[in-house]
Amino acid sequence: MSVVKLDILSDPICPWCYIGKTHLDKALAEAGDHPFVIEWHPFQLNPDMPREGMDRRAYLEGKFGGKDGAVRAYAPVVEHAEKAGLSINFEAMQRTPNTLDAHRLIHWAGIEGKQNDVVDALFQAYFVDAKDIGDKDILADIAAGAGMDRDVTLRLLAGDTEIDDIKNRDAHSREMGVSSVPTFIIANQHAVPGAQQPDLWAQVIADIRSQLADNGN
């Protein structure tokens, strides 16, 4: 079977990205031999976040006017997460991180063919374990858990490798009209925004298989 590129713009602190990946993974598992080659791309929800991140309560005050506003804003997230079989531990989160280093790790994981594992681990660390994924040691632990070299990862994180590249790729996506994540781009042509349900992905996969068959692939 020919392969089709599926580019995913995401941020590891975006709950809709976590839910969207869960839906996609379910559809891919049910499809079996699916046609996609997947690559993850950077998009920061908070590109102006200080590099050290900030206290989550202060973040919620600034963005939603306090805890009550945040509860209202996150209510649909909690509902959709539960429907997807996920539990998001908002109460335990102490800090909202800058995700630049997490995006660097995702990029390096892609070079080693471990991108999906690292993305999964980042979502787990942030949304379930309530860890600060802006912390370099935590990122190095995630890298090691995915089979990457922890010491090499720490050395890379201590430097500025890929920082400009990540920022430029993020800016390019915004210039192309992406304003929210997740955004899925199929075969460099069709953009699918949002945390789509597994049945939509099942239909997309069926359509692609049909097109490939018609083309003799």
Name, in order, each residue with C-beta under 8 angstroms of 152's C-beta and a sequence gap of 6 or more.
none
**pLDDT of 177:** 93
Q: What is the pLDDT of residues 95-137, one digit of tens each?
A: 999 999 999 999 999 999 999 999 999 999 999 999 999 999 9
What is the widest separation between alpha-carbon atoms in the chain? 57
CA-to-CA distance for 71 and 104, rounded, in angstroms? 30
Query: What average pLDDT does range 43-53 have in this prediction?
Result: 96
State the pLDDT at residue 67. Answer: 81
State how far the Cα of 138 lies from the Cα of 122, in Å rounded to an integer: 10
Question: 12-48 burial, b if ≥16 CB within 10 A, otherwise e?
Answer: bbbbbbbbbbbbbebbbeebeebbbebebbbbbbbee
One-letter amino acid of 104: R
List the Cα angle 182/123/61 in 5-degree steps: 75
Give dist(CA 165, CA 107) in Å, integer: 10
Which residue type occupies 13?
I
Looking up tokens 């660097």, which residue turns up?
A: 104
Going along the chain from its start, the domains and CATH numbers come out as 4-214 (3.40.30.10)
User: pLDDT per residue over 4-15, tens digit each?
Assistant: 999 999 999 999
pLDDT at 216: 73
What ranges make up the beta strands (E) of the chain? 4-10, 36-42, 54-55, 95-96, 183-186, 190-193
CA distance 77 to 14: 10
**φ and ψ of 177, to 5 deg:** 105, 0
pTM of the model: 0.96
